[in-house]
Structure 1
């Protein structure tokens, strides 16, 4: 009650005849309620769920209104149930965030790669005591059973604090986590403060009927990471840098804001970055970058010099720089970073497969204009005179604005496009493919629509010739397809490609 009152969330508490003295479980899923449960009525809530929770032993509920179905339960009525759930979830699990050094990462592209870079280095530095909450994996401890697939980039607050508590119980001291715009939009991380926040970039994405109504709303939600971090690292080359930097300066002194950019990238005459980097070597599998410090606080981190990055792509160099600076800010030496950064591999990110009689296959999660454009542009530079074949699709029920962006990126960089299914959910995959196709210049690009993704993957590889490049974009190592509201098993692009290559 104190927490809710402090945050001006509590409207009233209506105690049952025998009010509960303690709770042994918290949940927003009525199926998971047990004896002495505090139940949260949130989201697409139906009163029948409260009945079910009561039958299973719930003794109180938190809601934005009172329900007759909750008769006999203590009712805690609040102004915003999502905010209340985040605050009470943290309290129930013993405020685990206070026992972890938490690095939060946001951006339209590169969050997962940066998170893996940062985790790989920090995990080595702490002898296996760094947790990871990413789009791909959640790692709460050193054992295999403490690593599992993620459902959301940033989960609901109760799940988030539960996993943080598990990490603390398992001896973790550091946590690297991706933070989505939806996490702030839906108050999944309300009240959570980050020791370090990383802002990678921003470009239009996640704008649609079920997500952000406008780009301005999307940017505002992303900026909340800067307003809730003790120190921040910002890619000064990002679009809308002035607004991003302004958001940071509104909450932090300059000594707590670290800026980086590629060498000779003039941001403005008024902006002095703390670090510049330049590429000294690049090929289709790896690169070397060199960092130079340009401020007193930057020089104190002592990270000047060359670093090897074993994930290709000039855009991944920016992700690596953010991870290097963040690692140094957590106490990792430049020597350790140089040793462990090349060891990092990101499942489903820029995985390269050589074929005998066909082209080189790249598998990546690129799923919007910014990420696909960066990927294809890099590969186009490597093979200016050979065909670039790209396979992609787009998700259903969300990210609708991505479809035009995917078509644009294909038009600008590809020679052949195979449009296929990518988690169409409740939408018709053919209609999604046709929407992407509407934004492709058919004078520049040959387009095929092959809705069965396994068939499409095989066709894309078989279509290629030696010296050409095939990009399988969107799903990486994702082993399910979202079809008609169900998660249907899928072999993964990686396995289909590997099996085909072995056959030949």
Structure 2
């Protein structure tokens, strides 16, 4: 069973210059559990005082048997000793890894970051590696957390990258379930909030960057957002970069700062010339691209690229030209992890991502698409693709909203994307948190051009049902933002929600 003593904790904190004070008289005191949730405390646990903390949480933890606490401030009313630190988030990451015996060392970790495409790329990679590792690949994604091969080993995710304690808990479970590889998404917030402090990756992938997550509760500036994204490359042994990304010079610089150039791979669409004139190792081209079939050709350009042995033609199970680049990233990382071309072919041709480009045919009504698109980059790509690939004489109708208390810049981006390709927008609730969903919708509407018809229906289920029922066979309806999310975040509560996909399925069945 996991256990850690005060002496080991102090060694870690001194090594990282985080220790302020130690109130323990006996450094051999040990903890059999660690937690940051006062409701989950057991006897002899170490309790982390983090976030929007109230002293009453610590008192509750003491009543349940906590043996000690870690905090950035001393609590005079505490009847247990504390360890005072400069940064509790960094401390929790260090101690969590040590408590579970550094499980990351027993996993080959492939990590993805990017404004869009993280989830799809992660699912592509897991699908490929399932063939390579014989179903021993864990997945930490925006949608699901998978720590083992059994159905009960898969749970819904609440964050793209969870708190460090939860992250290392899941790594520990994965190792115990004999997982040998881990594919994970790493958000910019994971670095901003020190959730992945001191964690290293075998392979780090930078997909793209565009303005997102800028706001009072996220990144103050785009420069800060980019810096946090780049930290994934700084902390990776091998780096894989989409050469078509904006700010390539900065991104490439971050990679080569800590990795030899032989361990930095660039890929791009055939014919693309990056602004920095950097050599591309792998290029790809689209052979077939429609709603029913997608096929790409991958070709190595450099000797380093040729050593991967991934040249060939591949079928992709997910439509969309924007998914082709994600598939190439997965092919490269999988090859670096020991996958064969046969593994890659099997994985790319069978990948399914819940809530991504789900298509539904509704009798006597529009074709309906459900997708997680939630910012300008993803919404633009989705609407542009559907507009170009679908021959229709009707309207493109978008049902969407935007989250509250974060990513305020997304609202302008959604309005802009809808203006570029949409004919009608039905704005609705999407995790409003403490904000008024009508105010959020109005901010989106303020950025939609006058030639687009805009309406507001606060209840999301009603908005989806009414939009589909009022559509015509020649129309396209896009339900964007939540996909398979089973709840709405309202104030501080996760309110159960059937999910966009389930509601659309109900409408299809009813009609």
Q: TM-score band (shorter)?
A: over 0.9
Residue 40, structure 1, aligned to residue 40, structure 2: no
- 1:270 to partner: Cα distance: 2.7
Residue 375, structure 1, aligned to residue 382, structure 2: yes
- 1:467 to partner: Cα distance: 3.3
> The residue matched to 2:30 in structure 1 has which SS?
coil
Q: Indicate conservation of the 8 Å contact 2:249/2:276, yes or no.
A: no
Q: Indicate conservation of the 8 Å contact 2:372/2:480, yes or no.
A: yes
1:339-388 deviation per Cα after TM superposition (whole angstroms, max 9, x unaligned): 22111100000111112211211100000000000100111112365321
| Structure 1 segment 115-130 matched on structure 2, within 5 A | 115-130=122-137
Tell me which of 3, 6, 10 is aligned to 2:12: 3
- 1:268 to partner: Cα distance: 3.1
Residue 13, structure 1, aligned to residue 22, structure 2: yes
Which 5+ residue runs of structure 1 have no aligned equivalent? none
| Structure 1 segment 77-476 matched on structure 2, within 5 A | 77-268=84-275, 270-383=277-390, 386=393, 387-443=395-451, 445-476=452-483
Q: Indicate conservation of the 8 Å contact 1:20/1:74, yes or no.
A: no
Higher mean C-alpha deviation, range 62-71 or range 84-93:
62-71
- Between the aligned partners of 1:78 and 1:301, the Cα distance in structure 2 is 45
Residue 61, structure 1, aligned to residue 69, structure 2: yes
- Between the aligned partners of 1:345 and 1:43, the Cα distance in structure 2 is 36
Structure 2 equivalent of residue 27 of structure 1: 35
- 1:465 to partner: Cα distance: 2.2
Higher mean C-alpha deviation, range 420-429 or range 185-194:
420-429
1:376-425 deviation per Cα after TM superposition (whole angstroms, max 9, x unaligned): 01111123653211111001111111101000000011111111111111
- 1:460 to partner: Cα distance: 2.0
Q: Indicate conservation of the 8 Å contact 2:124/2:347, yes or no.
A: no
> The residue matched to 1:378 in structure 2 has which SS?
helix
Which 5+ residue runs of structure 2 have no aligned equivalent? 1-9
- Between the aligned partners of 2:293 and 2:398, the Cα distance in structure 1 is 21
Question: Which stretches of structure 1, 4 residues or longer, exceed 6 Å deviation after superposition?
Answer: none
Higher mean C-alpha deviation, range 267-276 or range 349-358:
267-276
Q: Indicate conservation of the 8 Å contact 1:61/1:70, yes or no.
A: no
- 1:183 to partner: Cα distance: 0.5
> The residue matched to 1:162 in structure 2 has which SS?
helix
- Between the aligned partners of 1:406 and 1:135, the Cα distance in structure 2 is 20
- Between the aligned partners of 1:375 and 1:192, the Cα distance in structure 2 is 33
- 1:486 to partner: Cα distance: 1.5
- Between the aligned partners of 1:449 and 1:51, the Cα distance in structure 2 is 46
- Between the aligned partners of 2:264 and 2:104, the Cα distance in structure 1 is 22
Q: Indicate conservation of the 8 Å contact 2:392/2:475, yes or no.
A: no
The CA RMSD over aligned residues, in Å, is 1.3
- 1:502 to partner: Cα distance: 1.8
- Between the aligned partners of 1:410 and 1:376, the Cα distance in structure 2 is 8
